[in-house]
Amino acid sequence: MPWEKQFDVDRALDRAVETFWEKGYNGASMQELLDRMGIHRGSCYATFGGKADLFRRALRRYLDTLEAGVVERSGEGRALDALQALFDGVVEDECARSGGPHGCFLVNASLELDTLPEGVRPLVHEGFRTMERAFARLVRRAQAEGDVPGSVDADGAARALLGLMSGLRVLARTGADRATLRAGADRARALVA
């Protein structure tokens, strides 16, 4: 009879995501990961591989939910309002988070990219492309609704929005106050005008 896992793989991976998100790849020890995941070393290696493999799986899991999260947050209303709501959400999420802000897992990973294991760089690039495409869709939708001029380059605006969002997440991670984050988030509409 084959060996069966005695733990919830998805739950353990979610806890690995949380740990890497909070501490980064280099800041999270293997023992801390095991403790947070609630599993033994042998189970971790048999299921996820080593720390580098676990990090890639955790980042992949995060990326798989990234676009869905943007779509969910963008809601049913007008695209320009949805776009602003995404940026407002960053401010609220970061300022309300218990234990202080910890930015975005994707942005945090990009900040330590040179020290991350092989195979992470393409995942980080994929995540940023996903976000850029989501912003471009929102800009095009706002154009179709007549709230953004048709002359606006949707792809260029999406890149600018991605830069603003990433910058806000970095500022949040460094402990910027609500007023600073709010000032940045309030510029989102101006980037598509």
The answer as to whether 53 is a domain residue is: no
The one-letter amino acid code at 145 reads: E
- Tell me the C-alpha distance between 91 and 168, whole Å: 8
The answer as to whether 32 is a domain residue is: no
CATH value at residue 127: 1.10.357.10
Residue 123 has which token pair?
């995942």
Tens digit of each residue's pLDDT (9 = 90 or more) over 114-133:
999 999 999 999 999 999 99
Q: How many domains does the chain have?
A: 1
- Tell me the C-alpha distance between 151 and 51, whole Å: 47
The answer as to whether 108 is a domain residue is: yes
The answer as to whether 165 is a domain residue is: yes
The answer as to whether 7 is a domain residue is: no
Nearest Cα neighbor of 182 from 79, 103, 87, 74 is 87
Tens digit of each residue's pLDDT (9 = 90 or more) over 136-154:
999 999 999 999 999 999 9
Q: Give the residue-averaged pLDDT of 16-36.
A: 94
Residue 54 has which token pair?
């676990």
Domain boundaries, position 160: 59-192
The answer as to whether 20 is a domain residue is: no
The conformational region for residue 3 under phi > 0 = left, psi -120 to 50 = alpha, else beta, is: beta
Full-model pTM: 0.85
The answer as to whether 14 is a domain residue is: no
In angstroms, how far is the first alpha carbon of the chain from the final one? 64
The answer as to whether 47 is a domain residue is: no
